[in-house]
């Protein structure tokens, strides 16, 4: 690298680094508030929505509408599974207490199973309770990770 490119890199690093440090300093003072709750899981295209005996060869359930429901079917948040059947719901921890998430809420798949496999039912839902698996940190962000305990097929709602 020539001297000019080295200087350019230094200037770029300085230009990008300075605002970052300011942001970090500002965030640092409210660091304990930087937390998110993430509900993440995979829906499979099987009669009960769970991974089959063929393990990773089990087909996923893509484009499935997933709802976070609390209490009496109150929809708190929604998500859609990607091509690998994975959905992710991010929540502000102030929105819902962790204890009520695991005691009072469930994830419900509203797209009929028949949409991923025509031999599966066209009515009914997959439903799962939720479980806390732990915390992960991404820089200053603390993420509380919640996963479905396992889906069950609920014939009709």
Ligand X SMILES: *[C@@H]1O[C@H](CO)[C@@H](O)[C@H](O)[C@H]1NC(C)=O
> Which of 71, 134, 139, 155 contacts ligand X by CB under 6 A?
71
DSSP 153: E
Give the distance, in angstroms, between the CA of residue 143 and the centroid of all CA atoms in the same chain: 11
H/E element, 15:
helix 3-28
Which region, judged by CB under 6 A, interacts with ligand X, from 60-68, 81-89, 117-125, 139-147? Answer: 117-125
100 binds ligand X (CB under 6 A): yes
Nearer to ligand X, 100 or 131 (CB): 100
Using CB positions, name the residue nearest to ligand X.
Answer: 71
Comparing CA positions, the residue from 128, 144, 104, 102 lying closest to residue 44 is 128
For 121, the token pair is 């039912």
Q: Is 73 in the site for ligand X (CB under 6 A)?
A: no
Residue from the set 114, 117, 131, 136 that interacts with ligand X by CB under 6 A: 117
Among residues 134, 155, 153, 154, which one has the least CA distance to residue 145?
134
Q: Which residues bind ligand X (CB under 6 A)?
A: 45, 47, 52-54, 57, 59, 70-71, 74, 100, 104, 117, 119-120
């Amino acid at each position: 690298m020539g001297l000019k490119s080295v200087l350019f890199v230094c200037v770029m690093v300085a230009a990008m680094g300075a605002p970052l440090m300011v942001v970090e300093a500002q965030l640092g003072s409210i660091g304990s508030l930087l937390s998110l709750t993430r509900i993440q899981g995979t829906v499979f295209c099987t009669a009960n929505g769970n991974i089959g005996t063929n393990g990773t060869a089990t087909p996923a359930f893509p484009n499935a509408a997933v709802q976070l429901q609390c209490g009496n079917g109150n929809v708190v948040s929604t998500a859609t599974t990607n091509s690998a059947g994975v959905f992710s719901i991010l929540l502000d921890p102030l929105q819902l207490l962790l204890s009520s998430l695991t005691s009072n809420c469930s994830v419900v798949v509203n797209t009929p199973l028949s949409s991923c496999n025509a031999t599966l039912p066209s009515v009914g839902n997959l439903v799962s309770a939720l479980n806390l698996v732990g915390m992960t940190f991404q820089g200053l962000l603390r993420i509380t990770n919640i996963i479905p305990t396992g889906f069950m097929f609920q014939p009709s709602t």
